[in-house]
């Protein structure tokens, strides 16, 4: 799976470079224009996410498991991802859906009822993540576009540990599910590079529900290109953080990795 994702990212970089000079900057701008007419965007994308942190299990064999890797592309096993926006004037709405399965096999450090230990097996995180927000344009110039946003992020996450406790005959499957909805505030937009059709896309939000979640934030930045009035493409790096209270699945856990996206505008 990681080789396929890596090949896709490399091919995308080559595509961006080869088409980079196809359109004159004077004729085409990557900066949206605020107008009374409705405008819409649909963005399917692939986020090659990995995970760093601790997942709370608190059941049977283990209370928690560290799930850390330097190879972020190797964690993503399956998933579907899409975002959409609608704007009229300065107001708009946006939505972002991620449904993904992340998995790591090998020796996993755990906290057991008897103390710290190591298990041989695999940890799987299945999650559905939905972000929705109302937006308002606070900057729209020749070179920059910025929306402020206010909304919520909902997550449904299940962590599963299939393991053999080292030096023992114990084999066990431990699973735990958490769902939470948290308010968020943030900003998103893009900055035009040197009067060209290239731009820097960015996104950031932060929130806390006061219930299961102590803190959550999300950030993204990278490079993109406007090919014509209907299609943009971008290559970015994205990170999502959750710090849940005792009993939550995601204990100080960050999901992060490269993301490739194509945006259709109409």
Domain ranges of the chain: 2-265
pLDDT tier at 202 (50, 70, 90 boundaries)?
A: very high
Lowest mean pLDDT among 48-57, 132-141, 182-191: 48-57
Higher pLDDT, 227 or 79: 227
d(CA 243, CA 41): 31
d(CA 77, CA 155): 18
Examine the pLDDT at 84 and tell me if it is beyond 50.
Answer: yes
Q: Name the residue among 99, 107, 106 with its Cα closest to residue 126.
A: 99
Q: What is residue 14's predicted lDDT score, i.e. its pLDDT?
A: 54
Q: Report pLDDT digits (tens) over 206-221.
A: 999 867 899 999 999 9
d(CA 234, CA 257): 14
Cβ atoms of 242 and 67 closer than 8 Å? no
d(CA 94, CA 68): 31
Q: What is residue 21's predicted lDDT score, i.e. its pLDDT?
A: 44
CB atoms within 10 A of CB 124: 20
Fold of 2-265: Lipocalin (2.40.128)
Contacts of 260 (CB under 8 A, 6+ apart): 8, 9, 12, 45, 46, 233, 234, 235
What's the pTM?
0.81
pLDDT tier at 90 (50, 70, 90 boundaries)?
A: very high
Cα 184 from chain centre: 15
d(CA 108, CA 132): 34
Q: Residues 80-107: what's their mean pLDDT?
A: 92
Q: What angle do CA 73, 133, 53 make, to 5 degrees?
A: 35
Q: Report pLDDT digits (tens) over 130-184.
A: 999 999 999 999 999 999 999 999 999 998 888 776 566 667 787 889 999 999 9
């Amino acid at each position: 799976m990681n080789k396929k994702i890596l090949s896709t990212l490399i091919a995308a970089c080559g595509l961006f470079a080869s088409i980079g000079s196809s359109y004159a900057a004077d004729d085409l701008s990557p900066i949206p224009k605020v107008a009374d007419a409705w405008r819409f965007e649909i963005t399917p994308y692939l986020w090659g996410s990995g995970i760093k942190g601790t997942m709370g299990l608190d059941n049977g064999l283990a209370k928690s498991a560290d799930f850390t890797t330097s190879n972020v592309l190797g964690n993503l096993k399956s998933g579907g991802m899409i975002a959409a926006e609608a704007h009229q004037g300065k107001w708009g709405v946006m939505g972002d859906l991620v449904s993904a399965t992340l998995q790591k096999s090998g020796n996993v450090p755990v906290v057991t009822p008897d103390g710290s230990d190591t298990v041989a097996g695999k940890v799987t995180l299945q999650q559905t993540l939905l972000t929705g927000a109302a937006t308002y344009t606070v900057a729209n110039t020749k070179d920059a576009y910025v929306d402020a946003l206010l909304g919520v992020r909902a997550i449904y996450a299940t962590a599963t540990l299939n393991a053999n406790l080292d030096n023992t005959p114990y084999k066990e499957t431990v699973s735990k599910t958490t769902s939470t909805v948290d308010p968020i505030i943030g900003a998103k937009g893009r900055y035009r590079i040197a009067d060209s059709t290239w731009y820097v896309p960015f996104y950031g939000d932060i929130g806390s529900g006061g219930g299961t979640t102590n803190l959550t934030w999300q950030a993204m930045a990278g490079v993109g290109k406007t090919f014509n009035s209907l299609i943009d493409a971008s290559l970015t790096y994205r990170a999502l953080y959750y710090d849940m209270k005792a009993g939550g699945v995601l204990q100080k856990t960050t999901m992060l990795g490269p993301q490739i996206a194509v945006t259709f505008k109409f």
